Structure 1
């Protein structure tokens, strides 16, 4: 099946495939982690490159480096960058992020990053039902990297005070905090995501700072996805609205 082109804005689109796509969690993380103008950014496990391309559509980062272990996903990112004319600001590296802390010399696009995002596998190895398709299984289970691997790699690429933003399931919260703090990444901002008011959170969004002072965690009001009638809340309409402008 040929890759399909999914519009993200009037000028930016992303090529997706049956295996490498994006979903609501991707869009929420891209919004939560929004880079500042001129920042040097990276996206670990970038897949089809949706987060870097959403950032290029909405914000003005200086450059973004996607890191992805699967070659077919990397090719989608390259096609999108060329198609959108942003290859000078977006590049993808076909790398195993577990190698980053030891890699020398490192690619200059991964040195002293201001911001790194990661939508990691949600399931720990050996838990949940594993997808028989390798690409989807690697994206959903910690087959090729654990949260400890992500934290270690991010700490090696961030500048002092740089930010790591990620999303995960609430049941992994203590695992994430432990891995981050063990690698000098102090949790500073946390937001839970609920399907509706009164429902238990299904996701959390977290920002940590390299060499941040302990304490001072800001817990933001929960993000509610749907009204009681199933429609998007106003905040979700605003988040999706800027993404859907190109449709």
Structure 2
């Protein structure tokens, strides 16, 4: 277990099995929470996204759900660490150990403003499956499917509430179809490229519960690097996190 700084004094405990990536930071930024939001993250892992959200906003509360006890313990340790360091709003994060397919039924329906998920990118049974159980759960749909995630998000969200996730481009049709099947209309989409000469490697998508079909805001491609390293936009997104990793 080791500490990673997230900027502005916020820190997160990570391990080799439970850590975060650029995708995590991009999703947290894309989610664009508002002060006072009631938020749920499905599959929180070590809890990086809730910690990034409380770094920059003041939500009403964040419920962080994961099926892996080790991940939830890491997040609990991070919450205690941040509170002890004077980041009192870390107490707004509530870790919950449980199955995404079951936990939403135990929570009040239709009360969340924002649901966030960085889901497994690969279909169950596809690709080379990691023998490490934590990595297998994170990368493959072994514990929940995209349909399970969308069903959970839809139940939790209030009318007009937002669901945001990231996924690989080859699964775009799956994501849009699952969102619509559960009463959430895709309204914002952004592709992410490593460099100008590379194909998109990720997309970020937002849907609204109960919204009418029709217009979707397809944003300009987010470019991660140019000839000078990180693009200006990426440096802005990384913000105070990047300040801890320069030099």
Instruction: Specify if TM > 0.5.
Output: yes
Q: Alignment partner of 2:142: what SS? A: coil
Q: Match of 2:17?
A: 19
The Cα of 1:111 is off from its aligned counterpart by 5.6
Which structure 2 residues correspond to residues 1-247 of structure 1 after superposition, within 5 A?
3-85=1-83, 86-101=89-104, 103=105, 106-107=106-107, 112-228=111-227, 231-246=229-244
Q: Alignment partner of 1:52: what SS? A: helix
CA distance in 2: counterparts of 1:48 and 1:137, whole angstroms: 15
* Paired residues of 1:64 and 1:91 also in contact (CA < 8 A): yes
CA distance in 2: counterparts of 1:187 and 1:238, whole angstroms: 26
Q: Alignment partner of 1:35: what SS? A: coil
Name stretches of at least 5 consecutive residues in structure 1 with no aligned partner: none
CA distance in 1: counterparts of 2:11 and 2:199, whole angstroms: 34
> What is the number of equivalent residue pairs in this alignment?
240
* Paired residues of 2:163 and 2:207 also in contact (CA < 8 A): yes
Tell me how large the CA RMSD over aligned residues is: 1.4
Q: Alignment partner of 1:181: what SS? A: helix
CA distance in 2: counterparts of 1:150 and 1:17, whole angstroms: 25
Q: Alignment partner of 1:8: what SS? A: strand
CA distance in 2: counterparts of 1:212 and 1:67, whole angstroms: 26
Shift >6 Å, 4+ stretches: none
TM-score, scaled relative to structure 2: 0.93
Gap change, CA 1:210 and 1:90, over 3 Å in 2: same
